[in-house]
Structure 1
Amino acid sequence: MAEIVILLAIKKIGIALAKGATDQASVQFAKYGAQLLELQGSMGRVARELRVMHDVLCKMDIRNRSNLVYEGWLEEVRKVAHVMEDVVDEYLYLVGREHDIGCCFFLKKGFKKPRSLLCLNQIAFKVKDIEKDLSHLSKTKNRWVPMINNEDSSNLSYIVKRSQELANILRSLDEEDLVGVDKNREQLEQWLAGDDQECSVIALLGMGGLGKTALAANVYRKEREKFQCYAWVSISQTYSREDVLRNMIKQLFKDTASVLSSTLAMDIMSLEETLKKYLDQRKYFIIFDDVWDLETFHDLSRMFIHSDNGSRVMLTTREARVAALASRGHI
């Protein structure tokens, strides 16, 4: 995911601009103080631009990710972030090659010492070019990417697409595909199987690309049969409450064609009451995937009647304030 690539580049720049590296650079390039300061200033500007891009990416609705224009722009951002990371590696090696200040510990895995290290000016020129590339990408996004919002991106289409993606994940996801998540998976399974009969809320919190949905899908596949009914609900930044309710009913009443047929003409209030009545009698497991704000969860959670039957609600989110809605100690 581009978000992680950008964060790695930002972290690497932070190491290059930390006190240990800057002090060593000041000693090693004492004769080139002005050039060094200019290079460090350029690195700082690149880091700030990348951080803004990262924040924008984290806030963009995931529906945009399927658009070719957006994907093309995202790939260019990813390339620039990789180039910046390589350039900072060269700088760290140049600064730390004579004195062990710990810089080389942070070099990218597989980094190879060049036969002839780039001089300070060459590195500075590269960083300047990266600055220009990022500025161009920002302008390109403002000029072209907003056009994708004019395309058909209805909430129902989004929900159908996300449901298809989930189905593909559940079919193809093997245990070996989840690396380094055993502790988190075990914790989730313990919370789901806990003795607490109250309906508890569990939150998976993390930035985009960390694998929240994959982990949730793995647990959902393994644990859902332990509940009387279950549903996976995909949310977006802007969602249709009616579409979400109908999607839940479709999953929960999948074996009752007559009920499904009777809900076709129902308004939102009737749909909500139907769900409340159904869930009140059963031990259910509901996952809300990709929840962006507090109001969304509060809106949807009104249908849950806490009838002490061991039901569980799980949500995945990038927002800490949303995760804070989880039951105590269940993030």
Structure 2
Amino acid sequence: MAAFAHITSLLNTLHFHFLQPHPCLIFDDTETIKSLCEKILHLQAFLEDSEKNKARRVLESEIRCVAQDAEAKIESQLYKLYLCRNRVEHPLKPPQSLYHTLKQVKRKIESIERRIIQIKSNNNHSAEPKSGNKIENIKAGSSSQRSSEPNDVMVGCDDEFDTIMHKLISHSNKLEVISIVGMGGIGKTTLVRRVYEDVSIISHFQVRAWATVSQEHNLREILLSLLDTNGGDISDLPNQLRQRLMDQRYLIVIDDIWGTKAWDDLHRCFPESSNGSRVLITTRLKQVADYASSGYGLQRGS
């Protein structure tokens, strides 16, 4: 369930940057953050509801897009802020634009909450799900809508973008794992999303899939995201994924992986087809990147 993974990733980002016991930011409006987190928890509960819930099917794509867009904008502003971190000894105060972004995200989620109530109360006349918004597990030649413009955060990152693109579409036929490692908030996810949605990547790989792992990884939810499905027996999901990827040139993105155990659970699902398939991971921990990657690591930030 891709929407659940993205909304969970947004929640983890908010907790990591704003609700730590000793944050590196001076944030004057923690009540807005706490209120926003509560609303995100409500969306999580909504997404965890029965897979037959029509309201969830209608809004799942919209929830995913809102979460992706919010996390990209927040990480973009935090990245610029953290660039100044080594030049000062005191905690940093976020710009007003970040406060505005957080309130805007809150309003969007409140709008979704109102639609949930409306659809549930009138499920016999609910709107049909929107099409064309799926990102995960897209076949070559398909199109997907972008939830945010990469130029907002990619200033100065063209070299990194080109490096990753080269490693993904190089002539090596064996399966390779490429890692991007760095602290939270420096734009790793946004950089990878820009690569993932590039037209040359879409045309090069027959299958693409994306999963967000986060600190407390849930193997079943990760596999469901990679398979782009809403249900299944955990004992059968790894085999389903292997069969889906077998004999296909695939790109798998494993975003925000925190531990080697999560990697051990996942990597055996990726078949070695000797056709140039790639796995691209982002992590905050260098030891995880070293453990998982094929010697192709890119470190962002300090």
SS state of the match for residue 287, structure 2?
helix
Residue 187 (str. 1) matches residue 163 (str. 2)? yes
Q: 1:72 to 1:268 in 2, by over 3 A?
A: closer
Q: Show the counterpart of 2:273.
A: 307
Residue 211 (str. 1) matches residue 169 (str. 2)? no
Which of 48, 68, 79 matches 2:26? 79
Deviation at 1:276, TM superposition (A): 0.6
Deviation at 1:64, TM superposition (A): 4.2
AA matched with 1:327 = S
Which of 248, 262, 267 matches 2:226? 248
SS state of the match for residue 234, structure 1?
strand
CA offsets per residue over residues 211-237 of structure 1, 9 Å max, x none? 111111111110233200101111111
- Tell me if structure 1 keeps the 8 A contact 2:153–2:187: no
The structure with higher relative contact order (CA 8 Å, sep 6+) is 2
Deviation at 1:293, TM superposition (A): 0.6
- Tell me if structure 2 keeps the 8 A contact 1:163–1:234: no
Q: 1:273 to 1:210 in 2, by over 3 A?
A: same
Task: Quote the sequence identity (%).
Answer: 29
Deviation at 1:328, TM superposition (A): 1.8
CA offsets per residue over residues 64-101 of structure 1, 9 Å max, x none? 4446xx84778985238xxxxxxxxxxxxxxxxxxxxx
SS state of the match for residue 269, structure 1?
coil
Q: 1:290 to 1:313 in 2, by over 3 A?
A: same
Q: 1:65 to 1:305 in 2, by over 3 A?
A: closer
AA matched with 1:182 = D
TM-score, normalised on structure 2? 0.54
SS state of the match for residue 299, structure 1?
helix
Which of 261, 272, 279 matches 1:295? 261
Q: How far apart are the structure 2 equivalents of 1:225 and 1:75?
A: 45
AA matched with 2:217 = Y
Structure 1: runs of 5+ lacking an equivalent: 1-60, 81-139, 251-259
AA matched with 1:239 = H
Residue 166 (str. 1) matches residue 142 (str. 2)? no
Q: Aligned-residue CA RMSD in angstroms?
A: 3.8
User: Number of matched residues?
Assistant: 194
- Tell me if structure 2 keeps the 8 A contact 1:197–1:308: yes
Q: How far apart are the structure 2 equivalents of 1:317 and 1:280?
A: 26
Q: 1:297 to 1:191 in 2, by over 3 A?
A: same
Q: How far apart are the structure 2 equivalents of 1:292 and 1:64?
A: 12
Q: 1:268 to 1:72 in 2, by over 3 A?
A: closer
Q: 1:163 to 1:196 in 2, by over 3 A?
A: farther
Q: Show the counterpart of 1:63.
A: 11
SS state of the match for residue 224, structure 1?
helix
Residue 327 (str. 1) matches residue 291 (str. 2)? no
- Tell me if structure 2 keeps the 8 A contact 1:166–1:217: no
Q: 1:294 to 1:212 in 2, by over 3 A?
A: same
Q: How does 1:3-82 map to 2 (within 5 A)?
A: 63-66=11-14, 71=18, 78-79=25-26
Q: How far apart are the structure 2 equivalents of 1:72 and 1:305?
A: 40
Q: 1:76 to 1:177 in 2, by over 3 A?
A: closer
Q: Show the counterpart of 1:239.
A: 217
Bigger radius of gyration: 1
Q: How does 1:90-239 map to 2 (within 5 A)?
A: 164-166=66-68, 170-175=146-151, 177-222=153-198, 223-239=201-217
Could you say which structure has the higher helix fraction?
1
Deviation at 1:208, TM superposition (A): 1.1
Deviation at 1:317, TM superposition (A): 0.5
Q: How far apart are the structure 2 equivalents of 1:238 and 1:164?
A: 22
